[in-house]
Amino acid sequence: MRKSSELFFVSSNVHKYDEAKRILDSFGIRLSFLKSTLREIQSDSIHEIATLKAKDAFAKFQRPILVEDDGLFIDSVGGFPGPYSSFVFKTIGNEGILNLLKESRDARFVSVITYCDNTVLQCFDGMIHGNISMSQKGRGWGYDPIFIPVNSEKTFAELDCKDEISHRYHALENFSSWYLSNQ
């Protein structure tokens, strides 16, 4: 498969970049990293957050970019932490999430990948359903040690195939289809 022209993933989170790079490599898309802290608004909409981050990233670098925003939505607590997942992780972490939950542990992970260049601003969604484990398992980053995807008994942190099933994979798969057909 022909490698595409250079595209940059802009984030302060190298783990997100590493995962995105592995996934996009499988679609023949070359991805480079620009480490940057982007302006991130507080909003109930992951799309709004990702769109404004993409505009900020493009304004800074003037290159074709991808940004990602994602959230863990837990049904029994009204979709919390949702678009506030990063802040909640920094303040109460996985232990705090585990302490909040009693019986119902249904959850979903949502990813919004946003592409921006000189003329296009486009969002691509991905989602996976699952539940929150009773304790942390595995050595992954973020919420990976507590999220068990549907049809699995292991957390994302314990799975070797996370890159092939995650919310980020689904969003990047949608992006790849669009991107490769527009090259």
Residue among 151, 156, 150 nearest 137 (CA): 156
Q: State phi, psi for 46 to the nearest 5 degrees.
A: -60, -35
Catalytic residue among 25, 56, 69, 106: 69
Q: Which two tokens stand for residue 131?
A: 């539940």
Rg of the chain over Cα atoms, rounded to whole angstroms, equals 16
**CB of 67 closer than 8 Å to CB of 53:** yes
Q: Contact 62/36 with Cβ under 8 angstroms?
A: no
- 144 noted as active-site residue: no
Q: What is the DSSP letter of 78?
A: T
Collapse the DSSP code of 28 into the 3-class scheme (helix H, G, I; strand E, B; otherwise coil) and give the result: coil
Residues with catalytic function: 69
